[in-house]
Amino acid sequence: MNMTPKEIVAYLDKYVISQKDAKKTIALALRTRYRRMQLDEKLQDEIMPKNILMIGSTGVGKTEISRRLAKMMKVPFIKVEASKYTEVGFVGRDVESMIRDLVVNSISIVKSEKEEENKEKIENYVLNKIVEKLLPPLPETASESKKDDYQRLLEAMEKRVESGEMDDKIIELEIDKMNIEFNDTNLPPEMAKVQESFSKIFSSINKEDNKKEVTVKDAKSILKLEASNKLLDMTNIQNDALERAENGGIIFLDEIDKIALSEKSQGRNDPSKEGVQRDLLPIVEGSSVTTKYGVINTDHILFIAAGAFHVSKPSDLIPELQGRFPLRVELESLTEETLYQILTQTENSLLKQYEALLGVEGMTLTFEDDAIHAIAQLSHRANEITEDIGARRLHTVLEKILEDISFNADEYKGQEFKITAELVHEKLDIVVADDDLSRYIL
């Protein structure tokens, strides 16, 4: 969390082109959370997160910003679609399940950190168990010379197991019956606990033989899980995870415009849309949500909502919910130049992906600069003629250009294939020029 706003923006710049205002707003919101955590506890409680509403058409980078934030920050983060929630009383997910999802994500993060901290202990546990199976211990009555020989054999065997030399050997493991974790966050916590209780009862009743023959390679994975469960204090992990979710959790609420009640579509609106907004309101305002790991307070969870707002407007949301998203940022539509930069300047851009994929077939795919400009120009034009789907148009356009080359890739093994501007125009000019073809093909 200790990244300056400039560092956050610099990181996002590698993956998302333009949208400076959105990046700046998010960077400031994240930094404010860090600043809050450094203050006195009494003052911390008073400072509420400034929730953000991102407005922009599809494919301009709203979701990509959220994806990159999730990878960058070691804080509990989930991305959910507002359109999949329904009002209490309708069939579907209730809005509180997003908080339970956040807690599960938080536990996963904390558990991974604790496993990393105890990596050496876990590895030693796994190694000792496997070596014990491959080299049974000597009886206590063995002579000193035999014990010395055994010790040398033991050290040699440990090295062989660690190096992977013994991975194909079959050993017999007594596999502990793991208690089944019910992480269906749509279930009420009480129901999840009842299900887990039943699973414990049945596993204790069922005394069948737990021995199983597995390879040493598979045994490493099985025993690593067993070691984690035995060596880590899950109560502390859960308490730490709840605290992190409360103070550092971020929920990216996508497609929020789908639950807005627009005047144009009043007749065909789902009656539960306004209900979802009303159910969402207490969670965004701050309330206590019961999870099977404990109660979590949502006062300081940061909500970032995003929507295209083609049919509806932010003012179509209920006034109370609008007031809970004080920071508004509008994302710009993508220009021809922006599309060119997306293809050339982003880390792991689409062009690099296609080059790597066809490299598997032994061919070298290269794109001339004129061809990249032509792809950007035709993609932008297709966006203008049909629906504007932003950078997602590049996927469709590139697939159309590379379809035949990819199909016949085996014929170009050991050769270089250059994508030229002529080839791009040959494949796409007719499609883009014809309005009907554009709508169906691109």
As its CATH architecture, domain 336-430 has Orthogonal Bundle (1.10)
pLDDT for the residue 70: 76
| Portion of the chain with pLDDT greater than 70, in percent | 88
233 C-beta neighbours (distance < 10 Å), count: 10
Residues 111-152: tens digit of each pLDDT: 999 988 888 888 888 888 888 888 777 777 777 777 777 788
pLDDT grade for 375, boundaries at 50, 70 and 90: very high
Q: Give 23-47 pLDDT, tens digit per residue.
A: 999 899 888 888 988 999 889 888 8
pLDDT per position as a tens digit, 193-231: 666 665 666 555 554 557 777 888 888 888 888 888 888
Average pLDDT over residues 165-177: 76
The better pLDDT of the pair 142, 168 is held by 168
How does 180-212 read in b/e, with b if 16+ C-beta sit within 10 Å? eebeebebebeebeeeeeebeeeeeeeeeeeee
List the Cα angle 437/331/341 in 5-degree steps: 65
Half-sphere exposure (Cβ direction) of 230: Cα atoms closer than 13 Å: 13
Query: Which amino acid makes up residue 80?
Result: V
Q: Give the mean pLDDT of 361-369.
A: 93
Phi, psi of 178 (to 5 degrees): -80, 140
Are residues 375 and 343 in contact, defined by beta-carbon separation less than 8 angstroms?
A: yes
Higher model confidence: residue 252 or residue 200?
A: 252
Amino acid, single-letter form, for residue 232? L
Q: Fill in the amino acid letter for 212.
A: K
pLDDT in the model for residue 241: 93
Closest by CA position to 35, among listed 248, 265, 186, 221: 248
Paired residues of 288 in beta bridges: 297
Of 96, 111, 82, which is closest to residue 296 (Cα–Cα)?
96
pLDDT in tens, 47-60: 888 899 999 888 88
Q: How many angstroms separate the CA atoms of 435 and 239, rounded?
A: 58
For the domain spanning 5-108+240-330, the CATH number is 3.40.50.300
Residue 138 contacts residue 147 (beta carbons within 8 Å):
yes
Cα dihedral 257/260/261/265 (nearest 10): 20
Per-residue model confidence as pLDDT tens digits over 68-86: 887 787 788 998 888 887 7
Q: Would you call 319 exposed, middle or buried from its count of C-beta atoms within 10 A (0-12, 13-18, 19+)?
A: exposed
* Nearest-angstrom CA–CA distance, 347 and 14: 6
pTM: predicted TM-score of the whole model, two decimal places: 0.79
Buried b / exposed e over 96-114, threshold 16 CB at 10 Å, is: bbbbbbbbbbbbebbbeeb
Quote the pLDDT of residue 267.
45
